[in-house]
């Protein structure tokens, strides 16, 4: 079905295509007979696919990464497509519009996308309001991907992450700490050893105060050097993280086949998709 719709979707702006596609899915799932057919076609219950990772029983290992459902509006619809889990966010304490349009670009020759969305989201309290009244059955496993607001100084970043962590703790199954997006100025410097240890230490200290601590994972950039990665791994062990999310988008464009002039026209942004495979 996607191959038939692809020419239509590729004829419109990528961000508009995203909203068109998710809106169409929501409309289809609101029709009882059609909803049943969609769920029956995509959902699979097979013991061979089940995984238990960091104490969570996943029905299958294929999940939806953060960035698609930034505000926690679509996780129930995505569950209907058979995903074993959905990661919502990245969410920040206060709402922010993100970067100016256009901010999402296709690279068909590379099987890739460039984005500079800039953590556009409605804020953590809007997400909490959505999660308070969950109706998805069976309940899909949710990860909460959290970040800081653009205008929060790095020395105060832990306050933003802590606020999001506290707000979402009762509503998600695990957390992902996003310090690796290239589209928030200076965010990636939080991956340096000292600020990273401080941030993760504060979050784990708060986590251990809870009756049921949640797994905390760290989302890292593919552009880290090997020595930087060694530092990240050392901090991950020291702070007893549940795992790493590899990876965020890359700033490296050296292997792209897309015309250089076109890339210059696009401008800044992180690359995702096939070019990340080798790294």
> Hey, which residues are catalytic here?
181
Q: Which of 198, 242, 195 is nearest to 216 (CA)?
A: 242
What's the rounded Cα separation, in Å, for the pair 155 and 152?
A: 8
Got the DSSP string for 51-86? EEETTEEES-S-EEPTTSSTTSSSHHHHHTTT-SEE
3-state class percentages of the chain: helix first, strand second, coil last, to nearest 5: 40, 20, 40
What's the rounded Cα separation, in Å, for the pair 68 and 225?
A: 28
**Is residue 242 within 8 Å of 172, Cβ to Cβ?**
no
Q: Which of 120, 219, 214 is nearest to 167 (CA)?
A: 214
Q: What is the phi/psi pair of residue 153, to 5°?
A: -65, 150
CA 76 to chain centre: 16
Tokens at residue 66, please? 């953060």
Q: Within 10 Å of residue 171's Cβ, how many Cβ atoms?
A: 16
What's the rounded Cα separation, in Å, for the pair 187 and 178?
A: 9
β-bridge mates for residue 271, sequence order: 114, 250
């Amino acid at each position: 079905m996607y191959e038939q719709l692809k020419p239509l979707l590729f004829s419109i702006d990528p961000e508009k295509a995203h909203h068109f596609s998710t809106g169409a899915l929501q409309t289809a799932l609101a029709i009882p007979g059609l909803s049943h057919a969609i769920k029956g076609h995509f959902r699979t219950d097979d013991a061979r696919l089940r995984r238990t990772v960091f104490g969570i029983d996943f029905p299958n290992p294929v999940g939806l990464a953060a960035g698609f459902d930034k505000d926690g509006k679509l996780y129930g619809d995505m569950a209907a497509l058979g995903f074993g889990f959905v990661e919502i966010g990245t969410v920040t304490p206060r709402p922010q519009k993100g970067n100016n349009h256009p901010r999402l670009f296709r690279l068909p020759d590379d099987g890739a996308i460039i984005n500079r969305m800039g953590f556009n989201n409605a804020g953590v309290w809007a997400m909490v309001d959505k999660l308070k009244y969950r109706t998805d059955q069976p309940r899909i496993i949710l990860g909460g991907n959290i970040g800081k607001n653009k205008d929060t100084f790095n020395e105060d970043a832990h306050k933003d992450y802590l606020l999001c962590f506290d707000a979402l703790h009762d509503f998600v199954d695990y957390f992902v700490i996003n310090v690796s997006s290239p589209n928030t100025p200076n965010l990636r410097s939080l991956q340096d050893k000292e600020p990273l240890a401080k941030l993760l230490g504060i979050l784990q200290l708060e986590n251990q105060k809870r009756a049921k601590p949640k797994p905390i994972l760290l989302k890292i950039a593919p552009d880290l050097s090997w020595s930087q990665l060694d530092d990240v791994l050392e901090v991950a062990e020291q702070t007893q993280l549940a795992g790493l999310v590899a990876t965020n988008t890359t700033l490296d464009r050296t292997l792209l086949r897309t015309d250089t002039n076109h890339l210059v026209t696009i401008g800044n942004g992180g690359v995702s998709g096939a070019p990340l495979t080798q790294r």
